[in-house]
Amino acid sequence: MAEPAEIRPTLADIRREIDRIDEAMHRLLMERAQVIDTLIRIKKTAASGSAFRPGREADQMRRLYARHEGILPFDTAESIQRVIISTFTWVQAPYAVHADVSIGDAPMRDTARFHFGFTVPYRTHANATEVIAAVAASAGDLGIFPAEPGRSAGAWWTLLSGEGTPKIIARLPFVERPGHPAGTPVYVVSKPIDEAAVREVILYALGVERWREGLTGALAAVGATVEASAGDEGGLTLLVAAPENVSRDALLGAMAGLGVGRFDLREIGSHAARFRPTES
């Protein structure tokens, strides 16, 4: 008995299948909007400030990377997911993103649009100090500025210490990799979101009276790193990052006996641990 002839889909069949999938995705987005509308009524976030949840977002992006496969570039999948997350966050509680463009508008604009989409307003500022001031004066806006050492001028991190001041709540991108289309590392600041903060990495402003050889080594010995440093009227101030299992007492102990004179350690925020899949 002859084998039945293989039935191959026509070009029209494939296009109908694509249209079906596109319509299904659109309907799912509208369904997501209905769920968010219910969430707004339950949480009343539209009237209570920021709906940004950096820990949840970091986890979502890690899970997206873990399950991704096939010919669709991950850059595309990540960008789509970021726009969905950030836009629905904006729907819950409208916000703008303020950017320090001292390194140039293009990389910061790319970062803002990739991670927050085009619906969220984008505002530019000359430096990190202006970004922090804009966030402090807002109801629930976010600010972004370069996280790489020396990219933002001045000891901006000292402006984040103290009760009620803006705090670092995230570091982007959530999935770090070579060739990322919006790979400029940035810190994200907002007004304090204590109940929603993720504390895998804790950041401190460390002020010391004077530099001492072995300072960075003493911090490294307990697991902390110096992310940036700058001189000020009181001597030297450092931006220090430490994993959540490194206590403040451990950091203070590392400083004791170094001969740096008086020193001051203040927490200025936290973020999810950096996720670098190429290194795993």
Residue 151 pLDDT > 70 = no
The helix (H) or strand (E) run that includes residue 84 is: helix 74-92
Indicate the DSSP class of residue 277: G
Q: Considering only residues 153 and 19, tell me which one the structure prediction assigns the higher pLDDT.
A: 19
Region 161-176: what's the mean pLDDT?
95
Q: Which pLDDT belongs to residue 161?
A: 92
Q: Considering only residues 171 and 4, tell me which one the structure prediction assigns the higher pLDDT.
A: 171
**Residue spans of beta strands (DSSP E) within the chain:** 97-100, 122-125, 142-146, 167-172, 186-190, 201-208, 225-232, 235-243, 263-271
Region 73-99: what's the mean pLDDT?
95
Q: For the chain, list the domains and their CATH numbers.
A: 24-198+274-279 (no CATH), 202-271 (3.30.70)
Tell me what the pLDDT averaged over the chain comes to: 90
Q: Considering only residues 262 and 157, tell me which one the structure prediction assigns the higher pLDDT.
A: 157
Range of weakest confidence among 38-47, 108-117, 186-195, 266-275: 38-47
Which pTM was predicted?
0.90
Q: Give Dmax over CA atoms of the chain in angstroms.
A: 94
* Residues 206-222 pLDDT 10s: 988 877 888 899 999 99
